[in-house]
Amino acid sequence: MATVEQTLLRAIARRPSRWRRLWEGVSIILRSRTALVGLAIVGFWFLVAIFAPFLTPYGPFDQDYKWQNAPPSAAHPLGTDHLGRDIWTRLIYGARLVLIMLPINESLWLPGGIALWGVFLALVAGSVLGLLGGYLGGWIDEVVMRLLDAMMAFPVILLYMIIIAAIGPSALNIVLAIAIVGTPGIARLVRSLTLDIRTRDYIRAAEIRGESVWYIMFHEILPNARGPLIVDAMLRVGYAIFAMGTLGFLGLGLPPPSPDWGSMVAKGRQYIMAGSPWAALWPSVAIASLVVGLNLFADGLREELARYR
Amino acid sequence: MQTRFHPLPPILKVENLSISYATRHGEVEAVRQVSFEVNRGMTLGLVGESGCGKTTVAFGILDFLGPNGRIVEGSIKFQGRELIGRSEKELRLLRGDQITMVYQDPMQALNPSLTIGEQLAEVLVVHRGLSHAEAWRRSTEMLERVYMPDAPNVMKRYPHQLSGGQQQRVVIAMALLNNPALLIMDEPTTALDVTVEAAVLDLIEDLKRDFDTGIIYITHNLGVVARVCDQVAVMYAGELVERAPVKALFAHPLHPYTQGLMRCVPKLGITKEASRLYPIRGRVPAPQDRPRGACIFAPRCDYATERCRNERPMLQEITPGHSARCFYAGQIDPSAWQPSEEIEVPAPGQRVAPEHEVVLHIENLKTYYEQPSRSVLSLFGLGKKQYVKAVDGVDLRVPRGITVGVVGESGCGKSTLAKTIIGLESPTAGVLQFLGFDISMPVTRRDVQLIQELQMVFQNPDSTMNPAYTVGQQIARPLQRFKTVPPQQVYDEVIRLLHAVRLDASYYDRFPSQLSGGEKQRVGIARAFASRPELVLCDEPVSALDVSVQAAVLNLLLDIQRQYGTTMLFIAHDLSVVRFFSDLVAVMYLGHIVEFGPAEAIYAPPYHPYTEALLSAVPIPDPCATQKRIRLEGNVPSALNPPSGCVFHTRCPRRSMLPDQGKVCAVQAPPQQWNTEQHYILCHIPLEALRKMEPVITSC
Amino acid sequence: MFVGDYMTRHPLTVTPDTSIVEVQGMMAENNIRHVPVVEKGKRLVGLVTRQNLRLSPIELSSLNVWEITRLLSGLKVKDVMVRGKDVITARPDTPIEEAARILVTHRIGCLPVLEEGILVGIITESDLLTQLTNLLGLQVPGWRATIRVPDRAGEFAKITAAVASKGWGIDAAGSLPTPRKPGYWDVVIKISAATRDELVAVLQQIEGQELIDIRATGP
């Protein structure tokens, strides 16, 4: 009997606090106008990416030779490119690559876009390295940090180009490049957070319990670095999208005919002087709006978190 | 003392001041209708627990409320002129010129990149338009005035080159340079060691007399109040509940809250067995939950009636100069007070009979830290290695079921001793045995069975719990790790532990951010006792808590200790708390135990000269008790190069009792002189001479 | 016995731009008659007294109530104060009798006390009179004896010797030439350790001196 009662009690006791925490998180976002605007922009791109096939009658590779470099019209709301492909269609299928699907090969794809996967892998690698360096200190810290410093000494674009040039352009390789380039920054952030958190008494308590290094790093320290990490990761998704655009523009992005925003800008650029700026303009706007949206969201979130710290 | 036939106008007159802050939960009233006066050469103590609004009042006077704070109503008259509604420019002229403030952390007021002299002189150059040379000369004089040794040299140093006590002296000198009419001090000695604190308090007394400055002294420590204040205003939950001359307040506290506070404070001279601390039940209401049309203290008051819950009492004068905000002030007899049933107070005199089995055995324990040398050679491993001798030859035997208190100033090695025992530091040499097993290795290499028998309670309630997990998860972790109970019983065991620390089951799913400091500390205690350890180290477990909460946590620790028969090592700097809590006391100085014995023996002659000095520095919450005035000179020497012979000889005030001004002290290590079977003193002065000394504290 | 010891530190001050109405309020509320005027850095620039604030009867008679109010509300301290160099001041190391002389000769009520141009205090008639009472021991309870002594060396020593021989202390003492009786001085001493009869007995013993009054004084 007692156990039934206690189970009930547990359920009752647990519920309000869970919901309250969730609600608190949501209400923080709702309170910041900056975050709300950012969320709206990012949300828009996610929605169009998910529902892309229902938002356009065309496919991303459908060519219409009658409509080359056409301005916006009823049939093609954003116009067409030099091969007569609908730009709106290519944009929203491009958003899928960035945000919701990662093509491995012709038939297989993983949920989560290239930018998201890249940042996620950077987050994993950076967190491990940062935790190791920050918590263990000593020579491990020295080695890890000097290596990452060396990587950070390269200009980001150069680093991307070296990596892609070395392993060749493909969706998976771009993910890898984003992860490699993002790791040092995240590692530094995690390390500095760790240096702070590891002085807390609850870490002492865990050490006194004789907990393993891994338990302390991932169960005691990492959850407390969550807030700043989420904000940082969001900013990094923005950078990653930018990097994808840059790589595409330089011809190191996804191989054509993929609806890669960067390569769309690169191709479209040739026709700007010819009187049809649409093919270059819309993908640029797409990149810019998504990056700005993510930045606004992250900034708003950071401000609100700091205000009530 | 000058007598006058007509009273001078008060320097500061605060009337009906209310201050509120805009927060997430809307506008919150932090201070409500507070009135008081400050006169020349008078210290007004603003006392209360954290969150009672005392600092807010100070910031209100200075107009430092920040963008979300505002003064709702009331008047602040400084030197006859209203401050509220004045322009920012006029207020800026007053601040620093006629009103100055000294904060708890001296580094907040000092610029780390300028020398002391530059900072002091700048005050006079900017505010008074003096020439640089003249300003420099006056600044040096002022440093001498605050008893800074070697003032001309200190002028050339940077803040970080001074100790905390010296920094606070510089800040006080800086505050007085302009000869301000009003000086606001916000806990100026809270961060200092007790011996340094005593010297700074002496200084404040002197300065008040010489400069005729009005002082508002904000503190939570009733002992400090009794020492420096003339008038006291007691604040509770944003309201001023009692205002009185200091002697009247301590002799006849009128408000039930003040009476409750007095019952919470451990007093020196009271033994563990004969005393009880009575915490005030309940907790301070959050600003948004405070009752409005009722007495603010009614929910926690033992005398509350229907009237208190429906009507708000006004501050009324009961005897001349003594006012209280209570309907029944003057009618309540505090001596007839009985604890209500809600608060549990461990019964005195139930001390576990000391079994002679020794749980912890320490012999000649040394813990040295290697000091990185700054020379180039050290880069190649060739430099001479230097060691900080944090613990240097400690002997200690802790019998089962006993509490051993360890006291000493910061830097005396008491925390290192604890870390070495718990396994966070490795001893350099010596014997360290626990339950007969050698534990001179780091905790990671110890056996799980041993780890579980050795736990710790921490000082800082804000960092003792991991903010990412619920209370239940954190208490459950040691149970799971050490398999104290079968997995399916973990939940029940956690609830049982929560009950043991007087928290109900609803705390299981709360996060640390939803708890108060005292509650966090209780959970920390539950976590430490979860694995049913044999020995628990308590590192200043109550020093960061408010007095009323402190009493409750101390009672709880005592109670749990009796229930489980746990042995405890209690590290603290507060000698009255140690006295209340411990059976045996060890006094540490620079890595050595200089005196060890039963608590009663430590607090009565014969004393080690260092113990004597410590006792004479403790602020006692009783304005009519007399205390010997012994002040140690200088700072604790560096543990890198401890003094030869007796480590205390450089500061010892009793050295002159020995022939040749105590030459032997500088040369020879002092012998352990056994006063009784359990009590020894590490000193060259013969026991007979030490026995003849007067007790430090005589109460009236 | 210097001004620095007996002055009031941290006096109430105003700035040149303070309105007259506010100063009047301050004076009435705190029952004071003089307010030094300072500018940045507590440098003295003037002094306002109740006299300064009073309008002359001629001026008053030519105005109606509304005009007086308007005149007053527009006036600033700088319009009525005694200015900079005209303010007579003292230094903390001025002897108090010198301060009294200055007050009397200039027929004024207070002296702002300056240290290198910075206002550190104020000393008023009341402060000096208070010290006169202290000088004659009004602040301690005891016996106040007036003794008339001939104007020659060694007479005061006789009194102190007689008192000291009994082991009493003199709490306060002062002497002035006897008015309208040249060749004599009146000495006032204050003694609290003795009873009246003991004191009378001792003082009457002194040769060539006359005890002319003894009474109890005190706060």
For the stretch C168-214, pLDDT in tens is 888 888 888 988 888 899 999 998 888 888 888 888 888 888 888 89
Residue in B closest to C9 by C-alpha: B212
Q: What mean pLDDT is predicted for residues C8-20?
A: 89
The dihedral sign for the CA sequence A222, A228, A231, A234: negative
Residue B336 makes CB contacts below 8 A (sequence gap 6+) with none
Condensed to tens digits (0 to 9), the pLDDT of residues A22-31 reads: 777 777 777 7
Which residues of A fall below an 8 Å CB-CB distance to B?
Answer: 6, 9-10, 13-14, 17-18, 21, 200-202, 204-205, 207-211, 220, 223-224, 226, 308
Which residues fall within 8 angstroms of residue C71, CB to CB, at 6 or more apart? C55, C63
Rounded mean pLDDT of B596-617? 89
pLDDT score at B528: 93
Residue B271: is its pLDDT beyond 60? no
Contact C10 B130 (CB under 8 A): no
Contact C126 B127 (CB under 8 A): no
Residue B572: φ, ψ to 5°: -160, 160
What residues of B are in contact with residue C134 (Cβ under 8 Å)? 3
> Which residues of chain B lie closer than 8 angstroms to A230, CB-CB?
none
Kindly report the nearest CA distance between residue B567 and chain A, in angstroms: 17
pLDDT-based confidence at residue A309 (cuts at 50, 70, 90): very low
Mean pLDDT, to the nearest integer, of B557-570?
88
Given a contact cutoff of 8 angstroms between Cβ atoms, the answer to whether B632 and B655 are in contact is no
Distance CA(B502)–CA(B521), nearest Å, equals 12
Chains C and B touch (3+ CB pairs under 8 A): yes
How far, in whole angstroms, is CA B563 from its chain's centroid? 28
In whole angstroms, give the CA distance from residue B522 to residue A82.
Answer: 72
Shortest CB distance from C139 goes to which of B3, B181, B212? B3
Number of domains composing chain C: 2
CATH code at position C25: 3.10.580.10
Extract the tokens encoding B157.
Answer: 């140093």
Lowest-pLDDT range of A66-80, B226-240, B546-560: A66-80
Q: Alpha-carbon torsion A170, A173, A177, A179, what sign?
A: positive
Q: Write a three-state SS string for B279-317.
A: CCCCCCCCHHHCCCCCCCCHHHCCCCCHHHHHCCCCCEE
C-alpha dist (Å) from residue A6 to A172, B491, B506, B526 = 50, 9, 11, 20
| A/B interface, count of CB pairs below 8 Å | 74
Q: What is the pLDDT of residue B375?
A: 60
> What are φ and ψ of residue C155, in 5° steps?
-70, -40
Contact B474, B466 (CB under 8 A): yes
Percent of chain B clearing pLDDT 90 (strictly above): 30
- Categorize the per-residue pLDDT at A132 as very low, low, confident or very high, splitting at 50, 70 and 90: very high
Q: What pLDDT is attached to residue B349?
A: 46
Bridge partner list, C121? C9, C113
Q: Subunits that touch chain C (at least 3 Cβ pairs < 8 angstroms)?
A: B
Q: What is the DSSP string of B32-89?
A: EEEEEEE-TT-EEEEE--TTSSHHHHHHHHHT---TTEEEEEEEEEETTEE-TT--HH
List phi, psi (to 5°) of B391: -125, 125
Residue B184 in contact with residue B62, Cβ under 8 Å? yes
Mean pLDDT lowest for which of B349-363, B456-470, B553-567, C112-126?
Answer: B349-363
Contacting residues of C for B9, CB less than 8 Å apart: 12, 29-32
> Angle at the Cα of B289 (from B288 to B290), degrees rounded to 5?
100
Q: What is the mean pLDDT of residues B399-423?
A: 89
Between residues A306 and A241, the one the model is more confident about: A241
Residue that is last in its domain, among C132, C155, C171: C132
User: Edge-to-edge strands of the sheet including B43-47?
Assistant: B99-102, B182-186, B214-219, B43-47, B231-236, B239-245, B322-324, B316-319
* Residues of chain B contacting residue A209, judged by C-beta atoms under 8 Å apart: 451, 477-478, 481-482
Where are the extended beta strands (E) located within B504-648? 535-539, 567-571, 584-589, 592-598, 626-627
Angle in degrees, CA B182, B186, B187, rounded to 5: 135
Helix A87-99 to helix A114-131 angle (10° resolution) is: 20
Whether the pLDDT of residue A168 is over 50: the answer is yes
Model pLDDT, residue C65: 73
Do residue C35 and residue C110 come from a single domain? Answer: yes
Task: Work out the minimum CA distance from C12 to partner chain B, whole angstroms.
Answer: 5
Chain C positions in Cβ-Cβ contact with residue B181 (cut-off 8 Å): 9-10
Question: pTM for the whole thing?
Answer: 0.82
B508 close contact with A: CB closer than 8 A: yes
**How confident is residue B588, by pLDDT bands cut at 50, 70 and 90?**
very high
Q: Is B433 on the interface with A (CB under 8 A)?
A: no
Amino acid at A160: Y
Neighbours of C153 (CB within 10 A): 6
Domain end position, chosen among C132, C151, C166: C132
**Whether C22 contacts chain B with CB within 8 A:** yes
User: Tens digit of pLDDT for each residue in C49-59?
Assistant: 888 777 666 66
Work out the pLDDT band at B269, boundaries 50, 70, 90. low
Tell me the pLDDT tens digit for each residue of A172-188: 888 999 999 999 999 99
Nearest to B191 by CA among B167, B216, B222: B167
Q: Measure the CA–CA gap between B608 and B690, rounded to whole angstroms.
A: 8
Asked if residue B91 has pLDDT above 90, the reply is no
Q: Which residue has the higher pLDDT, A65 or B482?
A: B482
Closest chain B CA to residue A13: B506
Confidence of residue B345 (pLDDT cuts 50, 70, 90): low
Give residue limits of the domains in chain A. 116-232
pLDDT at A12 exceeding the cut of 50: no
Of C23 and B379, the structure prediction assigns the larger pLDDT to C23
B241 conformational bin, left if phi > 0, alpha if psi -120 to 50, beta if neither: alpha
Residues in chain B: 700
Does C42 have pLDDT greater than 60?
yes
Q: Say whether both C70 and C166 belong to one domain.
A: no
Same-domain status, C20 and C122: yes
Query: Of the ranges B62-66, B226-230, B300-304, C163-167, which one carries the lowest mean pLDDT score?
Result: B62-66
My answer on whether C24 and C63 are in the same domain is yes
Going by C-beta distance under 8 Å and a sequence separation of 6 or more, which residues neighbour residue B387? B368, B369, B370, B371, B428, B640
pLDDT of residue B380: 61
Residue C15 sits in the same domain as residue C69: yes
- To 10 degrees, the CA torsion angle through B371, A187, A292, A36? -80
Whether B424 and A204 lie within 8 Å, measured CB to CB: yes
Tell me: pLDDT of C75 over 60: yes
Picking from A207-221, B667-681, C58-72, which range would have the lowest pLDDT averaged per residue? C58-72
- C124–chain B Cβ distance below 8 A for any pair: no
Round to whole Å and give the CA distance between B278 and B547. 10
Asked whether the predicted pLDDT for residue B327 surpasses 70, the reply is yes
Give the residue-averaged pLDDT of A135-155.
89
pLDDT band at A15 (very low <50, low <70, confident <90, very high): very low
Test B79 with C126 for CB contact under 8 angstroms: no
Question: In angstroms, what separates the C-alpha of C10 from chain B's closest C-alpha?
Answer: 5
Tokens of C195: 């009873």
* pLDDT band (50, 70, 90) for residue B105: confident
**Same domain for C117 and C35:** yes
My answer on whether C108 and C161 are in the same domain is no
Contact B535, B398 (CB under 8 A): yes
How many Å apart are CA A206 and CA A222, to the nearest integer?
Answer: 14
Structure tokens at C9: 């530190």
Average pLDDT over all residues of chain B: 86
State the average pLDDT over residues B46-69.
87
Task: Please indicate, yes or no, whether residues C121 and C213 belong to a single structural domain of this protein.
Answer: no
CB–CB of B79 and C13 under 8 A? yes
The domain of C30 spans 3-132
Residue B87 region by backbone torsions, left for phi larger than 0, else alpha for psi between -120 and 50, else beta:
beta
The residue from C132, C166, C193 where one domain ends is C132
Q: Are residues C41 and C128 in the same domain?
A: yes
Note whether B290 and B25 are within 8 A (CB).
no
State whether C111 and C188 are in the same domain.
Answer: no
Arithmetic mean of pLDDT, B535-547:
88
**Least confident range of B338-352, B618-632, C154-168:** B338-352
Q: Does B541 touch chain A (CB under 8 A)?
A: no
Which residue is closest to B478 within chain A, CA to CA?
A: A209
Q: At what angle do helices A114-131 and A171-197 cross, to 10 degrees?
A: 30
At residue B34, the pLDDT reads: 93
Burial B646-672 (b: 16+ CB within 10 A, else e): bbbbbbbbbbebbeeebebbeeeebee
> C126 CB near a chain B CB, below 8 Å?
yes
* A7 pLDDT higher than 70: no
Q: Are strands B69-78 and B358-371 parallel, antiparallel or unpaired?
A: unpaired
- Cβ of residue B423 closer than 8 Å to a chain A Cβ: yes
- Rounded Cα distance between A290 and A238, Å, is 7
Chains A and C touch (3+ CB pairs under 8 A): no
Q: Chain A partners of B521 at a C-beta cutoff of 8 Å?
A: none
Burial of residue A111 (CB within 10 Å: 0-12, 13-18, 19+) is: exposed
Q: Determine contact, residues B444/A209, Cβ cutoff 8 Å.
A: no
Provide the pLDDT for residue B1: 39
Tell me how far CA of residue C68 lies from CA of B93, B259, C23, C27, C79, in angstroms. 32, 57, 16, 19, 15
Are C6 and B2 within 8 A, CB to CB? yes
Residue C175's φ and ψ, nearest 5 degrees, are: -145, 150
Are the Cβ atoms of A207 and B443 closer than 8 angstroms?
yes
- Arithmetic mean of pLDDT, B478-503: 90
Yes or no, beta carbons of C41 and B97 under 8 Å apart: yes
Asked if pLDDT for residue C15 goes beyond 70, the answer is: yes
For residue C145, what is the enclosing H or E element?
strand C142-150
Q: Which chains are within 8 Å of A by 3+ CB pairs?
A: B
Say if CB C36 and CB C110 are below 8 A apart: no
Establish whether chain A is in contact with chain B, requiring a minimum of 3 CB pairs below 8 angstroms. yes
Alpha-carbon distance of C2 to C127, in angstroms, equals 12
What is the per-residue burial (b if ≥16 Cβ within 10 Å, else e) of B341-378? eebeebeeeeebeeeeebbbbbeebbbbbeeeeeeeee
CB contact under 8 A, B79 and C120: no
Q: How many CB pairs under 8 A join B and C?
A: 58
Average pLDDT value over all residues in chain A: 83
Per-residue pLDDT for A9 more than 90?
no
Residue B542: burial class (beta carbons within 10 Å; 0-12, 13-18, 19+): buried
- Which residues of C are less than 8 Å from B81 in CB distance? 12, 14, 18, 22, 26
CA distance A3 to A9: 9
Which residue in B425, B448, B466 has the most chain A C-beta atoms within 10 A of its own C-beta, making it the best mutation to test that interface? B466
Test A308 with B24 for CB contact under 8 angstroms.
yes
Kindly provide the b/e burial profile for residues A11-25, where b requires at least 16 CB atoms within 10 angstroms of the residue's own CB.
eebeeebeeeeeeee
Q: How does residue A133 score in pLDDT terms, banded at 50, 70 and 90?
A: very high
pLDDT reading at A278 higher than 90: no
Q: What are the backbone angles phi and psi of residue A113, rounded to the nearest 5°?
A: -75, 175
Pair (C159, C120) in one structural domain: no
pLDDT tens digits, residue range C89-135?
Answer: 999 999 999 999 999 999 998 999 998 888 999 999 988 888 888 88
Is C50 near chain B, with CB under 8 Å?
no
User: Is residue C142 domain-shared with residue C81, that is, in the same domain?
Assistant: no
Q: Which residue of B has its CA nearest to C29?
A: B80
Instruction: Assess whether pLDDT exceeds 60 at residue A17.
Output: no
- Helices then strands, counting H and E runs in chain A, come out as 12, 2
Predicted local confidence at residue A97, as pLDDT: 83
A101: pLDDT strictly greater than 50: yes
Q: Give the CA radius of gyration of chain C.
A: 24
Do the strands A101-103 and B81-82 form a parallel or antiparallel pair, or are they unpaired?
Answer: unpaired
Which phi-psi region, left, alpha or beta, contains residue B74 (left: φ > 0; alpha: ψ -120 to 50)? Answer: left
Please state the rounded mean pLDDT for residues B663-677: 88
Does residue C32 belong to the interface with chain B, where contact is any CB pair within 8 Å? yes
Structure confidence by residue, pLDDT tens digits, B427-482:
999 999 998 899 988 888 888 888 999 999 998 888 999 988 999 999 999 999 99
Residues sharing a CB contact under 8 Å with residue B146, sequence separation 6 or more, in sequence order: B169, B170, B172, B173, B176, B203, B207
Between A70-74, B37-41, B99-103, C97-101, the lowest mean confidence (pLDDT) is in: A70-74
Give the residue from B448, B475, B492, B509 with the most A CB atoms within 10 Å of its CB, the best one to mutate: B509
- B-contacting chains (≥3 CB pairs under 8 Å): A, C
Nearest to B136 by CA among B147, B148, B125, B149: B125
